[in-house]
Amino acid sequence: MALPEKSPATTFAPGHLAAHPLPPGIVGALGLGGYQLLVDIGGVGAARLGPQAFLVIAPDPDPSLPDAGTQISLHNRRLKSDADAIALTQLAAELGYLRLSGYRLALERHGLLSRVKLVNPATGGVAVTIPDKHGGGLFGGGTSVTQLVAQVRSLPPAGPPPDTQSPEVLRQVLLALALRDESVGGAEAADLADSALKLARADRSLDPPAALEAAKRSTG
């Protein structure tokens, strides 16, 4: 059986989730007014409000369907530590990076929340499923956010790397790579991505990992 053709990567402009927040009805029903976005890459973000943390995801655009709006997944009402928030941020960054490289995010509504299936368009198979809430489904079986990050990070590419000719896409790729380092905070990762972007645009021979390492050396 022939494999499906690889779909083009879905791209979202930087700041997409800030410009397209969760619908007011969901925010009000879950008590999430004033939530803070920790990262926004490829239309995938991690957000936090006090002890609550969750993924915020813009669905893949589909011209045949009405806009489903930004959705919430992996809702955790009680964070145990800042390390859990860091792991959630890393998960959002990895999902955003994979989306930029061609993977699709298929969202399924479960009440106010959504389950997310990470689809490899090269095979049409579901690589990883993200539950709608923390502690349910997959996580009820003992899988932690950290383990989920490792699963997502180990996936093979769906096709060629993201097109880094676009400064906006390159900056998001650099931010995703910077957030893989647990010793680097969100603000520091953003600064590193900005520095690496300048270096990469000045020297086209630098690929994203090399540009990021050069930025670390220059700020070290």
Over residues 74-87, the pLDDT tens digits come to 999 998 888 889 99
Q: How deeply is 134 buried, as exposed, middle or buried, from its count of CB atoms within 10 A (0-12, 13-18, 19+)? A: buried
CA-wise closest residue to 107 among 94, 124, 119: 119
- C-beta neighbour count of 217 within 10 angstroms: 8
pTM: 0.88
Q: What is the pLDDT of residues 87-135, one digit of tens each?
A: 999 999 999 999 998 999 999 999 999 999 999 988 899 999 999 998 7
**pLDDT at residue 185, rounded to an integer:** 76
d(CA 171, CA 189) in angstroms, rounded, equals 11
Percent of the chain past pLDDT 70, that is, above it, reads 91
Average pLDDT, the chain: 87
What is the identity of the amino acid at 157?
Answer: P
